[in-house]
Chain A
């Protein structure tokens, strides 16, 4: 990543500001809010998968945990400031435990996928079966399949009666997404982020260099879960109800699809992928001719087959190629030709 962190921060703030100003002119803020929330959720998986190399099939578990943690604590406390923090901390703590169990056991890629998927299912089945008054945490009844409605939504910190909703809520979500994006950028610029990318590229080499791969992966996993938890709490506020379907496999699948389509190993890709595909789904939901799942599935298959790197890396590759060719037409030829000749001579 060239340039300095300050320059990145200014760029992010400017782009966020312009988008927040322009987009409500095109799409309603109610829809935009959920696109922003999905963008944050996709960014959480994009961070741990694209930069940390951890393929988590159950990112929805943390999303749902965040939403449930918010709803339950908001009912018990009666205002929203502390619940927002709990919604970040609970999934992070859960992910730290789960991650420690998996990474200290040195489990491979496939097993990681299976375990995260199974944990999501356990949460789904457990929460789904908690109908009835005996399942309650404090004043909050878990409600089984029907979920928890009617919890206090976001309010201005310190003023429990000043609810933030409508356009105001959209601005809060957009600002939080910009903030998270900036934090992710800072994280990736720090030595922790560089080592994480190193672990993604070659785990053995990094551990031979003396880095504690297991602890670093666990921390990375927990950070991803914290972001997903925040997105979950924001989603709970937007939907004003939490249901077990937040934990479902379909939700997990969608997060993975957003990341694949947008582009792994980028920060912008997952956000764009999530917003784009969620908007596509919203548009498809308004007609009855073609089923939604059919289109989503087809998009995933086609991307895996033809554009496995995703949209953003493909476009930026194209841009760099065209830009460099236009600027320095001779340079590439001079650099490439000897390399090719060398290879044929040696081979």
Chain B
């Protein structure tokens, strides 16, 4: 019985961390059709922002939930103005340019922080369910992911700026005719996407030893989750994250963590082959 509870928590945690990792990429890809391959590096910089802030004496939760998203969002803003802005509508070119940016940021962070592992300890202690020890921080990640989804859904569906953003995503020319500047809206969307990446990197930072190249561990997972999810932003994110998270954790428990990772990737290849439009392109059409 206790084992099932632990497995359930681990599964939820697997899904939640995938949602967290992919949210920023999903916003940027879903709303403005840019695949940001520097997403992993944005997360890595979110982690570094947190650690720097904590070392300067800021409360760890303030650092994670406020400082890191704002810092990475601002970096994203600069990147959008300097590079991405010129490449809208050229999907492959944006992929290449952002890949270049990812290398650039790895180099920059290596020069500033050095090529060593840094980290902070988890701020929430673990506790026991029956005979098993559970990491308390996992619940925090589940909580953050769930509230992230709720906030994203309510902003997109419930507020005027969400309405404008969705309208611009569907018909930029119409939005422009009604007096909204698509250029500004794209800029704001990219800022939000980068901030989400920064948040994800910050929240996951206590769980990993951070090195300048640790972004590479996230980008592939985020990329396949978003692509497999398909055109609907939140429904797609949730469905593909649940599927991949479950597959990953089941194989991790049954065999080993490496097999879990490989099973996730194989599942992604099979899914894309069977449903080339993504989960939501096939099943839940037309939902945000």
Contacts and interface: CB of A to CB of B under 8 A. Distances in A.
Interface of A: 55, 101-102, 105-111, 113-115, 117-119, 121-122, 125-126, 128-129, 249-250, 253, 256-257, 260, 290-301, 304-305, 308
B62 interface: no
Interface in B223-246: 223-224, 227
23 contacts: A55-B92, A102-B273, A107-B276, A111-B276, A115-B273, A118-B220, A121-B265, A122-B262, A125-B258, A126-B262, A129-B258, A256-B96, A256-B99, A291-B107, A291-B108, A294-B104, A294-B107, A296-B100, A297-B101, A297-B103, A297-B107, A301-B97, A305-B83
Interface residues of B, number: 37
Most buried by B among A55, A122, A250: A122
Contact of B273 (A107, A296, A305): A107
B108 A294 contact: yes
Nearest to A292: B107
B265 A118 contact: yes
Interface string B83-124: 100110001110111011111111110110000000000000
Given A114-B223, A114-B227, A121-B265, A294 B103 contact: yes
B107 A301 contact: no
Interface string B245-277: 000000000000010011001101100110010
B64 interface: no
Contacts of B268: 114, 118
Interface SS majority for chain A: helix
A301 B108 contact: no
Interface SS majority for chain B: helix
Contacts of A301: 83, 97, 100-101, 104
Given A114-B272, A126-B262, A295-B107, 17 more contacts: A105-B273, A109-B92, A110-B227, A114-B223, A114-B224, A119-B269, A129-B258, A291-B107, A293-B107, A296-B103, A297-B99, A297-B106, A297-B107, A301-B97, A301-B101, A301-B104, A304-B100
Contacts of A291: 106-108, 110-111
Contacts of B96: 256, 260, 300, 304
A118 B83 CA distance: 26
B35 interface: yes
B152 to A, nearest CB: 23
A291 B105 CA distance: 10
A110 B111 contact: no
A305 to B, nearest CB: 6
B272 A115 contact: yes
Interface of B: 35, 83, 86-87, 91-93, 95-97, 99-108, 110-111, 216, 220, 223-224, 227, 258, 261-262, 265-266, 268-269, 272-273, 276
Contacts of A117: 220, 223
Contacts, number: 114
Contact of A297 (B87, B100, B111): B100
A115 B269 contact: yes
Contacts of B92: 55, 109
B102 A297 contact: yes
Most buried by A among B106, B223, B224, B269: B269
A129 B256 CA distance: 11
Q: Which A-B residue pairs are the 9 nearest by beta carbons?
A: A294-B107, A300-B100, A297-B103, A297-B104, A291-B107, A293-B107, A301-B100, A129-B258, A304-B97
B276 A257 contact: no
Given A260-B96, A301-B83, A293 B103 contact: yes
Nearest to A118: B265
Contact of A298 (B104, B265, B272, B276): B104
B107 A118 contact: no
A308 B95 CA distance: 13
Nearest to A120: B220
Contacts of B266: 122
Contacts of A126: 258, 262
A50 to B, nearest CB: 13
A310 to B, nearest CB: 12
B280 to A, nearest CB: 15
A101 B269 CA distance: 10
